[in-house]
Structure 1
Amino acid sequence: MTQAELRDAVTRVLPGVTEDLIRLARIPGIAFQGFDHQHVERSAEAVAELLRGVGLPEVRIVRQGGQPAVIGRRPAPPGAPTVLLYAHHDVQPIGDRSQWRTEPFEPTEIDGRLYGRGCADDKAGVLAHVAALRAFGDDLPVGIVVFVEGEEEYGSESLETLLRTYRDEITADVIVIADSGNWDVGVPALTTSLRGLVNLFVDVATLDHAVHSGMYGGAVPDALTTLCRLLGTLHDESGDVAVAGLVSNAAAPLDYPIDRFREESGILDGVDLIGTGRLVDRVWTKPTATVLGIDAPRTGEAPNALLPSARAKVSVRLAPGDDPAKAFEAIKAHLEAHAPWGARVTVTVEQDGAPCVIKADGPAYDAARAAFRTAWDGVEPVDMGVGGSIPFIATFQELFPSSAVVVTGVEDPDSRAHGPNESLHLGEFARVCLAETLMLANVAEMVQPVSR
């Protein structure tokens, strides 16, 4: 099919693809503990039906102790490469309902954006794959494996086992991971680096029981104040992470205008940005430390007592090139060494994930960039880093070392993934669907299959 024919085909299938995205996004498939996982099952079934509907002859729902994933396959034509298309169908919890403009699980279009949990992250990724496959119909020029995970937002605990179990079935020459974003509305991007992650708990104990704050305050340190002082040591006066032994790197040579960043982040007027160095370094290739939550009495229920113990959950993002195990030991040593007033400090890891760097050169990346230029009407794609973490990309790199990993996505700076009012820019979604379709055609011409 010619580029013009593919463009027409994408235009033709896009309304139905968007309706299917809306139907899929109505399913509250949250893999976190405490939520009804029957919705995750429903979501997997819906994805399986979508893949059967595009003519993949082999579609099945699989699991290895975790939430359901979906695998669909179509063998490559003789001499053609195979492409694995990854996305995930599970979503984040909605958080504070009062902050949503619309019903989180009733997708609603407002001013060219589709609002709803999962509309961008990552059910639009699933439907971008579906759009490309529908556009080709029976004329697919490459072999296809679609792998749609069901617990990415909850840590992908069973993903490595799934990949190892079905490795022979999903091996591909090119792996397209549709779980990132673009540089801006109207500017496509390849993601070439992502930070790693260490989530940990910090427990502080100063007493063996609560005591009267008036009778003992002034001499006995309470655990909550002690914990606050300890957490304050994670940053220096400039806001840089003050933990010795963590890696820092330089990011891609892109200019991220501070005014744009402030607007996109929603930072309040008068509040300073933290950290030093270029903005792209701060948000892509330097470590961060964030206190996600503290276990302590609610203010309306707090007695006048010195707390004997307190707990915080801390998330540390790791620069590309760092090692999660070594980083955890460095953080643990820092916290233990800075324990105020001799308090007992216990540090335990909750989860971790490796950072990654992608060397984005070679025919697969040429195929992707050419597709982006066409889909965005001549706009040159950029290589960008991402401050967030997708640890399983490092797993794909390890298990499939001969495969080119191309990280793309549907999000833009205002998509607000994981937060209230998550949304998808429908104009950009159309370009993403066209770009993926063109990329498959380019891969068929530009990538030689590896003998297996």
Structure 2
Amino acid sequence: MGNVVTFEEILSKTRAMMPDVVERLKTLIRYPSVAFPGYPPGPVSAMADATAALLKEYGLGAVRLIDIPGGYPAVYGEIPAPAGAPTVMVYAHYDVQPAQREDGWETDPWTPVEKGGRLYGRGAADDKSGIVIAAASIRVFEGNPPVGVKVLIEGEEETTSHLDAFVAAHPDLFQCDVFIIADNGNIAVRNPALTTTLRGEVSCIVEVRTLKSPVHSGMFGGAAPDALVALIRMLATLHDAKGDVAVQGLRSGSPPAMEYPAEIYRESAGLLSGVDLVGTGPLGARLWSKPSITVIGIDAPSISAAANILIPRAAAKVSMRIAPDADPRREVHLLMDHLRAVAPWNVRVEVTEVSASFGFICPAGGPGYAAARHALETAFGGPVMEKGTGGSIPLTSVLRTAVPHAGFILWGAEDSSCSRIHGTNESVDIGDLERIIVAQSLFFSLLGNGRQET
């Protein structure tokens, strides 16, 4: 049943190819593939081409770019399953968050740098590592894995994705027995983990108006309301004095069994010495199963443009992570209703929904889950933890709807302790990158040998 190999053979082949894998990842990092509106499309399209070329060279068959209406193309390819074998679809994404040296990077974010066993550069972990994991786990079997393999590499995961509608319209392309979402990772290096839940995400824009135009703060201040002051008062009601979310009625999920080590969290978050953590309850629950609210942008005069005026208009974009099993439409409307209700002084308020994405809970005991645990434990040489993730991957719920019988495996080369995804000095541990390639290849071998349960 296909080219089934042992763990020792997989380990040997992976170690032999790792120098080339690292060089290929460096090449991918050099593409500033930011798919956000306003950024140049050329590097994103070039990155799609480079991704397709790498997958094809490493043994993936029928690689092509799929036109996604309204967005950037997805890279797709497949190797048919041997007779009687299951099919695995591996997902990653080639677009990345914006980055510039001035943000606080120690080196140019688009020039990969190896240091201390880690590879630095934007996308090194999130999620260009997922691309080389997919490619290398196929190359281990010289393009002839013991299972069917489909690969889907998205170009808009970090921004407004247009892939959801395409999946819904073409579910046949995504039929498989197991999805591997290679856009995740571990709490710390050498500590393997399977992610079992993802929070969802909703957002809105709240705009406050009070005056027809700016007026002198000395002549009119003290009676006429300032729009920015009103907005600040409204935003301050989103949390209580302990830092817990104060919007009534929001859903909280069941607390996770695993606790997030506070010392690792403080270090990885870059929390300044003496600054308190906010919220109450287990840290894992605060990060993985309870709602959290962040004000991610404000329209207001800058300090350099400050003048002695009452501000007539101010606006903010509010993002909220929601419990993995929460209804995003319900949660975003609770948030929006709260903002309207707390507006002071009868100011004019307009609240507009921006996004509403579901969270995700992995199907318990789905196809291949036990084999994945075994593969991960073998590759890392230690027990496997089950954890949540506070971030969101909206496509997971879309894939679940399109292929309801499939299992899901969420793993990857990221580590919460040092990878700093979305932040400055993003990096991936090269050792963990090797170990997750071994784990994914071993998973293919176990499934191909009929070991979905171990």
Q: Same fold (TM over 0.5)?
A: yes
CA separation of 1:96/1:12 partners in 2, compared to 1, >3 Å: closer, same or farther? closer
Residue 358 in structure 1 maps to residue 362 in structure 2: yes
> Which residue of the partner structure matches residue 387 of structure 1?
390
> How far, CA to CA, are the matches of 1:438 and 1:61 in structure 2?
28
> Which residue of the partner structure matches residue 249 of structure 2?
245
Which moved further from structure 2: 93-102 or 142-151?
93-102
Deviation at 1:269, TM superposition (A): 1.6
> How far, CA to CA, are the matches of 1:359 and 1:263 in structure 2?
32
Residue 345 in structure 1 maps to residue 349 in structure 2: yes
For 1:30-45, list aligned pairs within 5 A: 30-45=34-49
Name the SS for the 2:119 alignment partner.
strand
Q: Is the 8 A contact 1:77 1:141 kept in 2?
A: yes
CA separation of 1:293/1:362 partners in 2, compared to 1, >3 Å: closer, same or farther? closer
Structure 2 counterpart of 1:355, one-letter code? G
> Which residue of the partner structure matches residue 137 of structure 2?
132
- Counterpart selection for 1:83 from 82, 85, 88: 88
Q: Is the 8 A contact 1:88 1:123 kept in 2?
A: yes
> How far, CA to CA, are the matches of 1:95 and 1:229 in structure 2?
33
Deviation at 1:267, TM superposition (A): 1.1
Deviation at 1:363, TM superposition (A): 4.4
> Which residue of the partner structure matches residue 322 of structure 2?
318
Deviation at 1:343, TM superposition (A): 1.1
Q: Is the 8 A contact 2:168 2:398 kept in 1?
A: no
> Which residue of the partner structure matches residue 433 of structure 1?
437
Q: Is the 8 A contact 1:25 1:118 kept in 2?
A: yes
Q: Is the 8 A contact 2:259 2:284 kept in 1?
A: yes
> Which residue of the partner structure matches residue 117 of structure 1?
122
- Counterpart selection for 2:406 from 387, 403, 407: 403
> How far, CA to CA, are the matches of 2:8 and 2:190 in structure 1?
20
> How far, CA to CA, are the matches of 1:422 and 1:260 in structure 2?
16
Which moved further from structure 2: 160-169 or 306-315?
160-169
> Which residue of the partner structure matches residue 192 of structure 1?
196
Residue 444 in structure 1 maps to residue 432 in structure 2: no
> How far, CA to CA, are the matches of 1:112 and 1:55 in structure 2?
28
Name the SS for the 1:245 alignment partner.
coil
> How far, CA to CA, are the matches of 2:233 and 2:424 in structure 1?
31
Structure 2 counterpart of 1:39, one-letter code? P
> How far, CA to CA, are the matches of 1:270 and 1:56 in structure 2?
51
Deviation per CA, 1:394-431, whole angstroms, max 9, x where unpaired? 11111110110111111101100011110011111111
For 1:18-57, list aligned pairs within 5 A: 18-57=22-61
Deviation at 1:56, TM superposition (A): 2.6
Structure 1 counterpart of 2:320, one-letter code? V
> How far, CA to CA, are the matches of 1:185 and 1:217 in structure 2?
56
Q: Is the 8 A contact 2:204 2:336 kept in 1?
A: no
- Counterpart selection for 2:332 from 328, 332, 350: 328
Structure 1 counterpart of 2:146, one-letter code? P
Q: Is the 8 A contact 1:59 1:73 kept in 2?
A: yes
> How far, CA to CA, are the matches of 2:335 and 2:260 in structure 1?
29
Unaligned ranges ≥5, structure 2: none
Residue 107 in structure 1 maps to residue 112 in structure 2: yes
- Counterpart selection for 1:294 from 285, 295, 298: 298
> Which residue of the partner structure matches residue 275 of structure 2?
271
Q: Is the 8 A contact 2:363 2:407 kept in 1?
A: no
CA RMSD of aligned residues (A): 1.3
Structure 1 counterpart of 2:249, one-letter code? G
CA separation of 1:138/1:360 partners in 2, compared to 1, >3 Å: closer, same or farther? same
Q: What is the TM-score normalised by the length of structure 2?
A: 0.96
The number of equivalent residue pairs is 446
> How far, CA to CA, are the matches of 1:49 and 1:440 in structure 2?
22
Structure 2 counterpart of 1:442, one-letter code? L
Structure 2 counterpart of 1:59, one-letter code? V
Q: Is the 8 A contact 1:363 1:446 kept in 2?
A: no
CA separation of 1:447/1:150 partners in 2, compared to 1, >3 Å: closer, same or farther? farther
Residue 159 in structure 1 maps to residue 163 in structure 2: yes
Deviation at 1:165, TM superposition (A): 4.0
Deviation at 1:96, TM superposition (A): 6.1
TM superposition outliers: structure 1 runs of 4+ over 3 Å: none
Unaligned ranges ≥5, structure 1: none
CA separation of 1:55/1:269 partners in 2, compared to 1, >3 Å: closer, same or farther? closer
Deviation at 1:68, TM superposition (A): 1.1
Residue 235 in structure 1 maps to residue 239 in structure 2: yes
Q: Is the 8 A contact 1:367 1:446 kept in 2?
A: no
> How far, CA to CA, are the matches of 1:438 and 1:167 in structure 2?
28
Structure 2 counterpart of 1:191, one-letter code? T
